[in-house]
């Protein structure tokens, strides 16, 4: 399993939110490119970059995303408000290794299918959940769709993976939703990328034991609960 630092962008800064609430911002760092470089220097081989403003329709951090891609010599997966084929093409051309799509992929599965065929192995689907129910539009809207049912619908597509964020645990460092993640890895051949609630090394080991391919880590790294150097070394593939 590989550990992936999260670089979440808001108003040009790198932030960490709690419970998916934009009103509960706990971390704000004003130089996101430097933050990304720091994680690379610690030994991480992949970054997860999300434009939170684009995800909610409240602006764009496209210039910051481009700057991170320009300065990163590791794989970078980029998401947040990606809802057109043109934007996917732009990100891949700019150097993103994978592009993360969520809202439009959930609401328009035919678009996702076309996208996956055009860019096989380069698209990650963001299946953000509260409990097991999918949420979209930057976690603001609930969908009447269970994540396991959604996974069954997309299982045949040539995707790079499915990123499942347990929004109900996001930023709270209370441990990941292990039962959910295990049910997902049992249900699909697609790589599952877990996010939400990770507090320490034991959580990463537990996810790895349950067949999770990767884990996106935010608050635990930014607060120092996880040592970045040892985490990058141990969870590197």
Q: What are the tokens at 117? A: 């065929």
**Is 8 among the catalytic positions?**
yes
Distance of alpha carbon 123 from alpha carbon 58, whole angstroms: 24
Active site residue 90: no
User: pLDDT above 90 covers what percent of the chain?
Assistant: 84
Q: How confident is the model at residue 141 (pLDDT cuts 50, 70, 90)?
A: confident
- What's the average model confidence in pLDDT over 200-219? 97
Percentage above 70 pLDDT, the chain:
99
CATH of domain 2-234: 3.20.20.70
Q: How far apart are CA 57 and CA 118, in angstroms?
A: 26
Among 53, 128, 177, 203, the active-site one is: 128
Task: Check 8, 51, 177, 203 and give the catalytic one.
Answer: 8
CA proximity to 50, closest of 30, 76, 24, 85:
76
pLDDT of residue 136: 85
Q: Rounded to whole angstroms, how far apart are CA atoms 204 and 195?
A: 10
Question: pLDDT by residue (tens digit) across 71-116?
Answer: 999 999 999 999 999 999 999 999 999 999 999 999 999 999 999 9
**3-class secondary structure, 60:** coil
Residue indicated by tokens 């430097």: 34
| Exposure on the CB side of residue 20, measured as CA atoms within 13 A | 21
Nearest to 215 by CA among 201, 85, 224: 201
User: How many CB atoms neighbour CB 83 within 10 A?
Assistant: 18
Tens digits of residue pLDDT in 168-207: 887 778 899 999 999 999 999 999 999 999 999 999 999 9
Residue among 2, 63, 59, 3 at smallest CA distance from 33: 63
Distance spanning both ends of the chain, measured CA to CA: 5
| Of 128-132, 146-150, 184-188, the least confident | 128-132
| CA nearest to 66, candidates 87, 83, 84 | 87
Highest mean pLDDT among 132-141, 159-168, 200-209: 200-209
Per-residue confidence (pLDDT) for residue 168, from 0 to 100: 81
Domain ranges (residues) in the chain: 2-234
Mean confidence (pLDDT) of the chain: 94
């Amino acid at each position: 399993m590989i550990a992936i630092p999260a670089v979440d962008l808001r108003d040009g800064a790198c932030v960490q939110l709690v419970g998916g609430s934009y009103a509960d911002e706990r971390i704000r760092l004003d130089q996101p490119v430097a933050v990304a470089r720091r994680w690379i220097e610690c030994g991480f081989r992949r970054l997860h970059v999300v434009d939170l403003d684009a995800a909610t329709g409240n602006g764009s951090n496209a210039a910051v995303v481009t700057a991170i891609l320009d300065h990163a010599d590791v794989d970078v997966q980029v998401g947040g408000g990606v809802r057109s084929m043109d934007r996917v093409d732009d990100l891949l051309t700019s150097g993103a290794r994978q592009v993360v799509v969520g809202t439009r992929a959930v609401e328009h599965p035919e678009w996702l299918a076309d996208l996956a065929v055009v860019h096989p192995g380069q698209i990650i689907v963001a299946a953000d959940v509260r409990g097991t129910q999918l949420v979209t539009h930057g976690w603001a809207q609930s969908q009447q769709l269970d994540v396991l049912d959604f996974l069954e619908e997309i299982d045949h597509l040539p995707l790079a993976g499915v990123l499942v964020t347990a929004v109900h645990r996001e930023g709270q460092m209370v441990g990941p939703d292990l039962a959910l993640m295990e049910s997902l890895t049992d249900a699909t051949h697609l790589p599952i990328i877990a996010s939400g609630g990770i507090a320490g090394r034991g959580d990463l080991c537990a996810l790895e034991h349950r067949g999770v391919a990767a884990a996106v880590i935010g608050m635990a790294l930014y607060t120092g609960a996880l040592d970045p150097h040892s985490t990058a070394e141990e969870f590197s593939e």
